[in-house]
Chain A
Amino acid sequence: MRVVVVGQGPAGLLTADWAHRLGAEVFVAAAADGSLALWSGAWDFRSFADSGEVVRDPWQWWDLHGRQRGVAWNREDWVRWWTRWRDTWSAAGIPLAAGAELPSHNRWTPTAVGRLRPVFVCPAWQWAADEPEPVIWVGLEGLADTPIALASARYHALTGMTATGVCLPRPDAWVPHWSGLAWSVYVDSEPGRQWLTEALTRALRDHAGTSPVLMPQMLGQDGCETLIGQLEAALGRPVREYALLPPAVGGIRIRDRWKRALKRRGVTWVSGTVGAVRKEGVQFRDTGELLPADAVVLATGGILGGGLWLSAAGELFNTGTGEMVPWSGRMEDLARAGIGTEGPAYRAVGRVVGGFDSDRDGDSGAVNLYTVASAMEALFGERTAGEGWQHSEEGP
């Protein structure tokens, strides 16, 4: 079976990965890079209830409210698919934070401005804790996205815990346009690694204790685990990152590792904007070329991802098919607009599906997992139960 996945955000890559594991020949058709590079890689499953209150146990929340939202899974289903997803990431070399092997509740991760947000699954390099605690909050001189004055004040105001703000002076190599990603490039170099170790050691010399060191997310592009280990050894404290604005180094690490693994397994990428989906495959808009497929999965994203397009006349379109998508026309309904999980010639996964307000509620991880798993069940049926599931790194 040949599966064409349209889009390469988190839902698209997960679809490609699983379809390949289930024995399909997989093509990813994408008009652009996916959204992974925008976000740190922390996945939320359900952070806030409709009332706005923080959800402690997302699985329980889905148990109680899932059916009203068309999600019929019970906890065992969640755990089964969640475990597959974790194994998939693990096989691609993306490590989860300790304590996230099978999370039972949301934890807290601080944002760059000192707010806390609930998070269910966190890559190993990012800071997440059950309860707020005193921290060393590190900022970088010349990196405007590490507002330590603001962040440490806010962290303290919100948690009652001290956030000791530490600002590392900029190295000689620094130039004003350095983003978190450019800083990562620097600390990937040997002089950069030395500079960071020395600057941190010097800055923390007068701070007794073992409270964790929260670093901006710039601890290297690919070798961050090694660097974090070295820093922890040098400082005698836990060292973890907090997420920055895009370009998000955490998401870039995930993207790079995941795509590398998929390419080595033989998943093929085809660039282009899909403008039509037919029974026999997808058709590219500019060239009119047809990419034959036995099954098509739209993982094109919502408004931001480009799977939905709001015209000047106020009409909403499914960009993958060119079809109009019904919505009320009211702004407050836009975030929930979408195409559903199934069309005449495609399955849909991720944000394009609609029905959820993931930015507000914090449930994009659950929506991705549920919609991708549902697509797998629809396409592969019994095989998803375990027999046909390949965990080896070799492709079909």
Chain B
Amino acid sequence: MAHSDACLKCTICIAACPVYRKDGEFPGPKALGPEWHRRHLAGTGDLMDHVDDCTFCQLCEGACPVGVPVAHLIAEHKAAALPKQTWPMRVRDTVLTHPEWVARAPVLTRATALVPISRWLKLSTRSQRPSVRKAPRLSRSSRRAAVGGGRPRVALFVDCFDRGFDTEAMLAAQALMEVFGFEVHQVPRTSQCCGAAAYASGRVAQARRQAGAMEQAIRGELRGDEVALITLNATCQGTIGEEWSKFLGLNDLPVPVIPFHVFALQHAPAGFWSTVAAANVDPGSWTWTHTTCRGRRRGDGALFQLARRAGMDQVEPLDLECCGAAGSYAFKAEHAETAHDIGQPAAAQIHGRPGVIWVDSGTCAVHLEQLAGRTARHPAYWLWQAWLTSQSASATPPAPAGHGEPRDGGS
């Protein structure tokens, strides 16, 4: 792996690790990643305890000043430790690393609410299971996007979580982008996984297979004229946009891969923002934004800007680098406590104030909602709600968004 040898021993990765900063048993990214790997290459890399406690949030990797693929070296370490897993854990991880199966039959997760099943599978009995939020049919009239043909096209990536549990968010994103003046089609048609879950669990070969199949599917469904592939889940975004080419041996897709909220900031016309902002949704209420750990590989603050641009009354970022959910991490019994501890500061920060949470990942939303006791949804959902409010409030709909309008550069 490129730059695996670059480690300066500076410990910046340790200072960025949310698990290290909560769990005293955890040896930290430097020891589990580059230091283990260096010994491993020399044939003396004994497997270390607690390697599975890594959330694969990749904050270590983002923090590393010399580009060591710290988290991906830890994933190699996890892969080497797979044979040590017990059978129930293997069964459990087989399911958890195939979210595309779960997405096809989300009701199955209810079975795990039965405590004996959870116990046997080493599933957390503490973590809330996601509830299924199937969208009511979006009213066509509310979209207001009746612009003529020739509109630019985007592809909307349907991730496993949203396919299975939150078609509301997905359709909200689609409707919004139509309001922005784009033609939207969803990919892939069938439920598939980009490989993120398997990679996080150290199933690197499986991740490669899943990613390869997904890439074929997306390439087959792209029409060639899309300006972007839009994602609603920061983890899938990172996997497709970065890991596929860097770590899973795939070629970059022929379109840029962009998170929905970044796309919205760049492409929603000024009229959209002024309309939404004028609606003044839920005054006096707080909007907490949380960019998930994997989202932070792109940066932090765009969600905050989105909420402000949409005119939310009081916006505050959650003081969390990672909420602890980390995909299926929090659903594993052995991680339940760490996942809880990592996310706990959110509850202290919110502390009795009314409001909602905007977060760019479905599983994080479930986790944060449980921890903080506030509704947590994808920003596309909230933005759509604000748009609907603005539409019902205003007698005359705003002029349709034209693609040719200058972008609102911010400020």
A–B: direct contact at CB < 8 Å: yes
**A246 and B319 contacting across the interface, CB-CB below 8 Å:** no
Contacts of B14 in A (CB 8 A): 179, 181, 247
Q: State A221–B16 Cα separation when bound (angstroms).
A: 13
Q: Is B409 an interface residue (CB 8 A)?
A: yes
- Residues A271 and B65 in contact, CB atoms below 8 Å apart: no
Q: A269-B301, A270-B298 are in contact. Are A246 and B24 (CB under 8 A)?
A: no
Binds B, one of A30-38, A67-75, A95-103, A115-123: A30-38
Nearest CB in chain B: distance from A23 CB, A: 10
With a CB–CB cut-off of 8 A, which chain B residues contact A396?
Answer: 411
With both beta carbons as reference points, the residue of chain B lying nearest to A177 in the complex is identified as: B27
Q: Does B132 contact A (CB under 8 A)?
A: no
Task: Mark B26-70 against chain A: 1 for CB-CB distance below 8 A, else 0.
Answer: 011001000000000000000000000000000000111111000
Q: List residues of chain B with CB within 8 A of the CB of A264.
A: 316-317
CB contacts (< 8 Å) of A269 on chain B: these are 296, 299-301
Determine if A186 and B308 form an interchain contact, defined as CB atoms under 8 angstroms apart.
Answer: no
Complex CA gap A337/B25 in Å reads 43
Cβ-defined contact, A33 with B65, below 8 A: yes
Tell me the complex Cα distance, A179–B317, Å: 29
**Closest B residue by C-beta to A263:** B317
Tell me the complex Cα distance, A221–B31, Å: 21
Task: Knowing A173-B24, A181-B15, A221-B21 are in contact, say whether A271-B305 is a contact too (CB < 8 A).
Answer: no
Are A38 and B12 in contact, with the CB atoms below 8 A? yes
Q: Is A267 an interface residue (CB 8 A)?
A: yes
How far apart are the CA atoms of A246 and B62 in the complex, in Å? 18
B66 touches A306 (CB 8 A): yes
Q: Is the CB of B64 within 8 A of A32?
A: yes
In the bound complex, do residue A268 and residue B31 qualify as a contact, i.e. CB atoms below 8 Å apart? Answer: no
B322 to chain A, nearest CB (A): 14
> Which of B10, B12, B22: most chain A CB closer than 10 A?
B12
Complex Cα distance, B301 from A263, in Å, reads 7
CB–CB B410/A2 < 8 A: yes
CB distance from B215 to the nearest CB of A (A): 19
Q: How far is the CA of A126 from the CA of B16 in the complex (A)?
A: 22
Asked whether B331 is an interface residue with its Cβ less than 8 Å from the other chain, the reply is no
Asked whether, in the complex, the Cβ of A178 is within 8 Å of the Cβ of B63, the reply is no
Given known pairs A38-B12, A271-B296, the reply for A178 and B24 (CB within 8 Å) is yes
B367 at interface, CB cutoff 8 A: no
CB–CB B62/A32 < 8 A: yes
Q: Is B297 an interface residue (CB 8 A)?
A: yes
Number of interface residues of B (CB under 8 A): 37
| Residues on B with beta carbons closer than 8 Å to the beta carbon of A32 | 12, 62-67
Partner of B11, one of A37, A263, A267: A37
Of chain A, the residue at the smallest CB distance from B349 is A260
Residue of A nearest to B14 (CB): A247
A182's contact among B24, B66, B298, B301, by CB below 8 Å, is which? B24
Residues of chain A from 247 to 281 with CB closer than 8 A to chain B in the complex: 247, 252, 255, 260, 263-264, 266-272
A178 to B23, CA, bound (A): 11
Give the distance to chain B from A169, nearest Cβ to Cβ, in Å: 17
Tally the A-B contacts, defined by beta carbons under 8 Å. Answer: 101
* B244 interface residue (CB < 8 Å to A): no
Q: Which of A247, A266, A271 contacts B298 (CB 8 A)?
A: A271
Question: Complex: how many Å from CA A174 to CA B25?
Answer: 8
**Chain A residues, CB < 8 A from B25:** 175
Expressed in whole angstroms, the minimum distance between the Cβ of A27 and any Cβ of chain B is 8
| Chain B nearest CB, measured from A237 CB (Å) | 28
- A134 contacts chain B at the CB level, 8 A cutoff: no
Taking residues whose C-beta sits less than 8 angstroms from the other chain, chain A's interface range is 35 or more
Given contacts A33-B16, A269-B301, contact A247 B66 (CB under 8 A): no
Inter-subunit contact B12/A270 (CB<8 Å): no
Q: Is the CB of B301 within 8 A of A266?
A: yes
Q: Is A292's beta carbon under 8 Å from chain B? A: yes
Does residue A334 face the partner (Cβ distance < 8 Å to B)?
A: no
CB-CB nearest in chain B for A266: B304
Check if B21 sits within 8 Å of A33, measured CB to CB.
no
User: Across the two chains, which residue of chain B brings its CB closest to A189?
Assistant: B24
Give A312 Cβ to nearest chain B Cβ, in Å: 14
A25-B410, A37-B15 in contact; A263/B63 too (CB < 8 A)? no
Q: Is there an interface contact between B300 and A185, defined as CB atoms closer than 8 Å? A: no
Contact B301 A185 (CB under 8 A): no
Query: Chain B contacts of A174 at CB under 8 A?
Result: 24
Complex Cα–Cα for A35 and B305 (A): 26
| Interface pair B20/A182, CB less than 8 Å apart | yes
Residue A212 CB within 8 A of the other chain:
no
Give the shortest distance, in Å, between A66 (CB) and chain B (any CB): 31
**Is there contact, CB below 8 Å, between B24 and A268?**
no
Contact of A185 with B22 in the complex, beta carbons under 8 Å: yes
CB of A305 within 8 Å of the partner chain: yes
Interface string of A23-58 (1 = CB under 8 A from B): 001000001110101100000000000000000000
Please provide the chain B residues from 364 to 411 with a CB less than 8 Å away from any CB of chain A in the complex. 409-411
> What residues make up the interface of B, taking CB atoms closer than 8 Å to A?
10-12, 14-16, 20-25, 27-28, 31, 62-67, 296-302, 304-305, 308, 316-317, 319, 409-411
- Known A31-B67, A38-B11, A263-B317; 5 more pairs at CB < 8 Å: A175-B24, A268-B300, A269-B300, A271-B297, A271-B299
Those 3 A-B pairs whose CB atoms lie nearest each other, nearest first: A268-B301, A33-B63, A37-B15
Can you list 10 pairs linking A and B with CB atoms under 8 Å apart?
A: A2-B409, A25-B411, A32-B12, A33-B15, A37-B16, A177-B31, A255-B15, A260-B319, A268-B302, A268-B305
